[in-house]
Structure 1
């Protein structure tokens, strides 16, 4: 059983000595982090300053991009410090803060995608009633719920995890996550595991049921509707489905690594798969929506052109 002094720190064991290559990895990851910040921040600014984009779909997109910034910031600063460090330790408070950011990022992302599917469902299946059904009050309520539910669930999870008596302090990952800390416990962790599974699958399946329901109805309308209806559905639903698939792949990698023994997988591949969750969706989503949605694409071009003219 570790004492209180040792318990103040965790060791992230997945890092390995790369010699001078660590500076190359640092530059690559720093570039990715700056790219994520710039891409998501650009689209947030574009949506906020352009009144023609103050529509439900773009408000939900803005919420999605804010979450991308939040999630990547919960990972990259500590990751970059650890790459340059020779001793891969992290304080308990910093570890639990990162756990909170990591888990809330995943929950908010999935619920945001579910809310966006519901918005597309109303727009395609009830076009004449869309403005009366998707009111400003409902937009605020949906965004608020998609953020608050994971935040409250994670507060309970952090409280339960931090109260455990630990028998070790070595985490076999490049960042902190709840299940890795729970596995270090001397106590019976049945309650923690049950709550973690309920919170994770409750969020996933709740969102998944809404997504499946909305897309079943969207496809019904597409197959029975006009060519114009099908074109509208394809143009607005393709980016969303691509984002959903991309995030689900990353989340699946993360869940598999957390719940199953991956010691047979090469260390470098395990690190890549664990970072996919935090790098690919934040990079992919701004690119996908920026290129596919004409209003955002045109506004971005005009904004960049104005900045270049002024400089």
Structure 2
């Protein structure tokens, strides 16, 4: 039984030492860029009172979450890419699982909240400010982080109870299912929890779909509403599509096949939702939202 031991990560599948150095350079550029663009949007939204609207507040929350998720993933990856020893301690592994799960769960819930906000803005414009009051916005943010924390901490508690009989993790980072697979005992409870979480987030995804069906129905009637949809809703749909597609592909590749020859592909799929959304969130929203883009460029110019 392994408890306080080292886990071996599959960084060796990233190629030779020279190739890993190239990946290191690309990864550190991606990390620095992610922190810079998200922090720029956060500071812009916080400092500009004109941007203290629900849509921008939820976007700010998305950027905060992106920084937290990236910081849970990149530092350990960067160390491993320069090292010949690709190991992580049990405690560090649990901490990384906590950070990455918080990021994923918060991303999904925050995107659902943003879909609701866009639905009210476009389908009920006259009631928007009476519905999306500062108090309700604050409540939605609190619910987002509360649900995220509860989901994550329950998952962590279900992991730490398990005695482990293996040390090899088939990912570039620690994740819940990969550690559960190393268990020496029956992990049915963990599987049930995973199923409940999956159903919950499928429900969130359905809320997003229903919101956008109603939004599209409304937009058909008016050119102005169509323009509003293209500016404020299309970025949200792009980010949601990337997150859902990459998470689904990673889930399928991890659970449906154990072919080691596919490990490089699995590594690529497993990091897409940790790399792409945090980079694209501020870039896509910054490009599409004219008001935000104008203020950002003004601040950079000053």
The TM tier, using the shorter chain, reads: over 0.9
Equivalents in 2 of 1:292, 1:101: separation in Å? 29
Which deviates more from structure 2 when the two are superposed, residues 212-221 or residues 77-86? 212-221
Alignment of 1:78-117 (within 5 A): 78-117=76-115
Shift of 1:268: 2.6
Aligned to 1:139: 137
TM-aligned CA distance change 1:19 to 1:235, over 3 Å: closer
Aligned to 1:247: 243
Match among 211, 217, 227 for residue 231 of structure 1:
227
Correspondence 1:159 to 2:168: no
Shift of 1:265: 5.1
For structure 1, the residue ranges without an aligned partner over 5 or more in a row are: 307-311
8 Å CA contact retained: 1:254, 1:277: no
Aligned to 2:29: 31
Match among 180, 193, 196 for residue 194 of structure 2:
196
Q: Secondary structure at the match of 2:210?
A: helix
Aligned to 2:206: 209
Map Cα deviations across residues 59-102 of structure 1 (whole Å, 9 max, x no partner).
00000111111111100001111111111110101000111111
8 Å CA contact retained: 1:15, 1:173: no
Equivalents in 2 of 1:100, 1:254: separation in Å? 18
Equivalents in 2 of 1:208, 1:196: separation in Å? 16
Equivalents in 2 of 1:102, 1:39: separation in Å? 20
Q: Secondary structure at the match of 2:12?
A: coil
8 Å CA contact retained: 2:72, 2:99: yes
Equivalents in 1 of 2:245, 2:45: separation in Å? 28
Aligned to 1:176: 174
Equivalents in 2 of 1:287, 1:262: separation in Å? 36
Which deviates more from structure 2 when the two are superposed, residues 166-175 or residues 29-38? 166-175
Alignment of 1:17-96 (within 5 A): 18-96=16-94
8 Å CA contact retained: 1:15, 1:174: no
For structure 2, the residue ranges without an aligned partner over 5 or more in a row are: none
Number of residue equivalences? 301
Match among 122, 125, 130 for residue 124 of structure 1:
122
Q: Secondary structure at the match of 2:125?
A: coil
Which deviates more from structure 2 when the two are superposed, residues 19-28 or residues 272-281? 19-28
Q: Secondary structure at the match of 2:88?
A: strand
Equivalents in 2 of 1:226, 1:180: separation in Å? 49
